[in-house]
Chain A
Amino acid sequence: MPNEPNGRDDFEVDPWHFAGSFLANMLSRSIPDEPSHAAIPWTPFEGSLSGAKVALLSTAGISMKDDTPFDMDYERKHPTRGDSSFRRLRADATADQIEANHLHIDTGYIERDLNVALPLDRLRELAAEGHVGSLAETHYSIMGFQGADSSQLENESAPAIAEIMKSEEVDLALLAPV
């Protein structure tokens, strides 16, 4: 059904459902059959959602129109690299106040309704109804395509984002790749 969970307990998401064979073959080559990552960090979520201050992060290359946009020319000149910086987004940002720059998706949907990738309106509604404590003052975007080198994203942007979240006493971060 279009807008209903399918109700199957054994449902497993097909990660390539929308990818097409070329992209699926290309991306799946980099993914091992068994876990190959280092130990996973873990911070227990304590308390309840109704008391939690929540921050959102999107990988859609979203910037406020009064801020510097993500640099797409860099990637056009260097196809195996991507802009590794991040942008702060205001909690009251709406689609007409942002732009989205990401060369791997159609960003038009996000520029029509920001909530498809960064659901600030929905989060605000949940907070107003008491299901969530509050919205962080700052939300975030990176540009998801990093190509051959993600070290600057990992070692510069990510710690800087975490520092701002800590300074705003964020209790929970929801990250959404596009």
Chain B
Amino acid sequence: MGLVARKIEEAGIPTVTLNMIWVYQRLVGMPRVAAIEHPFGRPFGDVDDVTRQREVLTAALALAGSASQPGAVEHLPFQWHEDPKATRWHPAEPSPIIAMMQARRAKKAAQEEG
């Protein structure tokens, strides 16, 4: 995603990226990052939480005017309403790459035991 932000910015359109894993900034270098501590899949807020969705959208858009230098990161001060352990964001089945890694790990463990 950061790569897309860079390309759009290079084309002459200012960008703001709302980002949970904002530390990717160190790898990618996005023009403006609004960091948010929301679960994966719901960056703007929960289903039907109109207030939170609006607050996050407004705060992210405001960064366009307030960021003064490339690479600016602003930490949006919002807290999610559920404990991380109680927050369901995972797919019904592990993603293909996670399944592949888990299978490799299980195989390695079996070999070490055997």
Chain A residues near B (Cβ < 8 Å): 1-8, 11-19, 22-23, 26-28, 30-45, 48-49, 52, 54, 57, 59-60, 75-76, 79-80, 102-107, 109-110, 112-113, 115-117, 119, 122-123, 125-126, 131-132, 142, 144-145, 147, 150, 153-154, 157-159, 161-163, 165-166, 170-178
Q: Given A123-B57, A153-B3, A175-B16, are A104 and B84 also a contact pair (CB < 8 Å)?
A: no
Asked if residues B97 and A147 are in contact (CB atoms below 8 Å), the reply is yes
Known: A18-B38, A172-B13. 14 other contacts (CB 8 A): A2-B81, A12-B35, A13-B35, A22-B98, A37-B28, A42-B69, A60-B41, A79-B100, A158-B3, A158-B8, A165-B8, A165-B13, A172-B15, A177-B17
Asked if residues B61 and A172 are in contact (CB atoms below 8 Å), the reply is yes
- Can you identify 29 A-B contacts, CB atoms within 8 angstroms? A3-B49, A11-B77, A12-B35, A13-B22, A13-B37, A15-B20, A31-B26, A40-B31, A41-B31, A42-B70, A52-B64, A54-B61, A106-B92, A109-B42, A109-B46, A116-B43, A116-B44, A119-B56, A126-B61, A153-B3, A154-B3, A159-B7, A172-B14, A173-B8, A174-B18, A175-B15, A175-B17, A177-B20, A178-B42
For A122, give its contact among B21, B47, B54, B97 (CB under 8 Å): B54
